[in-house]
Amino acid sequence: MKSGTTGGRDAGALLLIVPAGVLGVALAWVLTSPDVPGQAVIRVIADCAGATVLGLAALPRLHERLLPPWRLLAALAGLWCVAEFAVLLLEAAEVVGVPVRRLGAEQFGTFLTEISAGQVGIAILLGTGAIAGYSALVFRRQEVTSTDLVLAFAAVALALRPITGHMSQQSFGSVLAAVHALAAATWFGLLVALALVVRARGEWATVLPRYSAVALPLIAVVALTGIVNGLVRVDGLGPLLSTGYGRILLAKALLLSVLLALGWWWRRSWVRRAADHRVTAHASLRRAVIEVVVMAVAFGLAAALAVTA
């Protein structure tokens, strides 16, 4: 299979991921009576870009002939790096207690060097920058095709914030948070990557059943770790309705249930028919876009959870 392009009009529908993610943040804002910091919007863009980078890098693990479009990979990694820098600026302004436009260079430098969130942010910037640079280099030197380095850097960058967040204060909390984040990113990112790269009906027939087999355990991991993380964080069932954090968590769980139902239906209809070459490439792409857009709303809720006290 050759590397795909994003020139098709159908693949352009993947741009709906951005407004869908923002919609998830807006829903969280409504549920918390506007206690969600504005940085959640940038956070969901960073998370979606990072997950897509991870998915593109993981494509050869799904099928050895699936090669990522390196130029697109470099561009997405660059977007991820820029978004992470914006998140850092907003976090620093929040810690200092000033609007971001009034954040001084010295204050920002102090945040980066003396506050753990800043130090984690620097590591993420280095990782995403390395991915962008490496991908651009590989695009120019096509004899290098391994995505292992990108996969490793992307996984570390995606896991750094969860393992140092509020769950790190609980027993095994960092492990659960990292597993949850990586499972969700792989589930989402691989499907986005397939929508970006796979074009022919025969290619969907080959790779979609493989993705479906991988997605099933990923969904189970996301659900299980999400339930455990959520209940530990809210400390019981009562706060699920009485706190903004709990209401966002419930909304995220409801959306996950919708995705589980959709996945079950796709597995019975789309996956089986696609494997038998009875679904056009256009129809497969349309279904993939529908699912990733719904996932993006969940990513928006998750980004709001990550920045909500």
Residue 100 near residue 93, CB atoms below 8 Å: yes
**One digit per residue, pLDDT tens: the chain, 309 residues?**
544 443 355 668 889 999 999 999 999 888 886 666 678 899 999 999 999 999 999 999 998 888 889 999 999 999 999 999 999 999 999 888 888 889 999 999 999 999 988 999 999 999 999 999 999 999 887 666 789 999 999 999 999 988 876 655 565 678 888 999 999 999 999 999 999 999 899 999 999 999 999 998 999 999 999 888 877 777 767 777 778 888 888 999 999 999 999 988 988 889 999 999 999 999 999 999 999 999 999 999 999 888 775
Write down the CATH number for the domain with range 11-303. Answer: 1.20.1630
Q: What is the structure's pLDDT at 130?
A: 96
Q: What is the structure's pLDDT at 64?
A: 85
Crossing angle between the packed helical segments 201-234 and 39-62, to the nearest 10 degrees: 130
What SS3 state is found at 309?
Answer: coil
Residue 150 near residue 49, CB atoms below 8 Å: no
Structure tokens at 72: 């697109």
d(CA 281, CA 26): 33
Alpha helix locations (H) across 198-307? Answer: 201-234, 239-242, 244-266, 272-275, 281-307
Q: What is the structure's pLDDT at 143?
A: 65
Residue 177 dihedral angles phi and psi, to the nearest 5° = -65, -40
Dihedral angle sign, alpha carbons of residues 180, 50, 186, 60: negative
Q: What is the structure's pLDDT at 221?
A: 94
d(CA 309, CA 305): 8
Structure tokens at 257: 């249930």
pTM: 0.91
Q: What is the structure's pLDDT at 145?
A: 72
Crossing angle between the packed helical segments 39-62 and 17-32, to the nearest 10 degrees: 130
d(CA 280, CA 104): 55
